[in-house]
Amino acid sequence: MINFIGVHKWFKKLHVLNDINLHVTQGEVLVVCGPSGSGKSTLIRTINQLEPIDDGRLVVDGMDLSDKKTDINKLRAEVGFVFQQFNLYPHLSVLKNITLAPIKIRRTSKKEAEEQAMTLLERVGLTDKRDAFPSQLSGGQQQRVAIARALAMNPRIMLFDEPTSALDPEMIGEVLSVMQDLAKSGMTMVVVTHEMGFAREVAHRVVFMDAGTVLEEAAPEVFFKNPQHDRARQFLKQLLSPMH
């Protein structure tokens, strides 16, 4: 579904992605973790080409991102992206946030798009907020709307970049449980997160990044019990310490 082959990326002199080789199969949930600045966001953002790659090959859902002829908008329509800061459209109601892309890009009828939006809102537990505006919602609610908005395009892949990092602790659970349901439904997901509980329970595989490289790649039970590298051990220790 997603195939990184020797991918490199630089920001000026900074080598942010260094020879990335990763393969995500259909229905797989991949969790990406690692210290701040290690390139996690950059990695996940290359998958829908919010960041173009400089070298190597990247094939997503059969489309080659290194090929100039690939219709990037078409690819993005098939890939849902959920941001750390939600990034809902503040000038549109919850319902319109969700239906805008299906109506304008997929040419779905308004009625059909709204019905689908209501189904999605039910799924994320927010049917009563259909006419609210983003500014009227809590962070957790906004993030759930953002997930519903991404799902409204019936994506083949969902990407999450630290979806719970901007949330108050009591709201993290509601967002994670929506993501967990989504994983159960067989969605292919790449999730950058430090929620190790989520990784343990939901992920099929965990990737540990450091300084632009994939340092470790393992099943969660293996990774958490027995990390191979000092950097990973350090990282996990820090994460689990109460001071974090």
Partner 1 sequence: MCPPHPLHHTRNSKRGLDVLSYHFDWSIILSGKYFDWLVSGVKVTLQLSAAGIVLSFLLGLIVAIMRMSAFKPFRWLACIFLEFTRNTPLLVQIFFWYFGSYKLLPEAVNDWLLTQNFEFAAGLIALTIYTSAFIAEDIRSGVLSIPKEQMEAARSAGFSYLRSMQYIILPQAIRITVPPLVNQFLNLAKNSSLTMTIGVMELTYQARQVESYTFKGFEAFTAATLVYLALSFIITFLMHQYNERILKIHMAA
Ligand X SMILES: Nc1ncnc2c1ncn2[C@@H]1O[C@H](COP(=O)(O)OP(=O)(O)OP(=O)(O)O)[C@@H](O)[C@H]1O
Q: What residue ranges bind Mg ion (CB under 5 A)? A: 41
- Is the CB of 15 or the CB of 57 nearer to ligand X? 15
- Is the CB of 41 or the CB of 164 nearer to Mg ion? 41
Counting contacts by CB under 8 A, is residue 166 touching partner 1? no
- Is the CB of 135 or the CB of 241 nearer to partner 1? 135
Counting contacts by CB under 6 A, is residue 163 touching ligand X? no
Counting contacts by CB under 8 A, is residue 79 touching partner 1? yes
What minimum distance in Å lies between the beta carbon of 81 and ligand X? 14
Question: Contacts with partner 1 in 36-55 (CB under 8 A)?
Answer: 48, 50
Of the candidates 145, 56, 139, 128, the one whose C-alpha atom is nearest the C-alpha of residue 92 is 145
Counting contacts by CB under 8 A, is residue 58 touching partner 1? no
Q: Which residues bind partner 1 (CB under 8 A)?
A: 48, 50, 73-74, 76-81, 83, 85, 87-92, 100-101, 104-105, 133, 135-136, 149-150, 153
Q: Which residues bind ligand X (CB under 6 A)?
A: 11, 14, 16, 34, 36-42
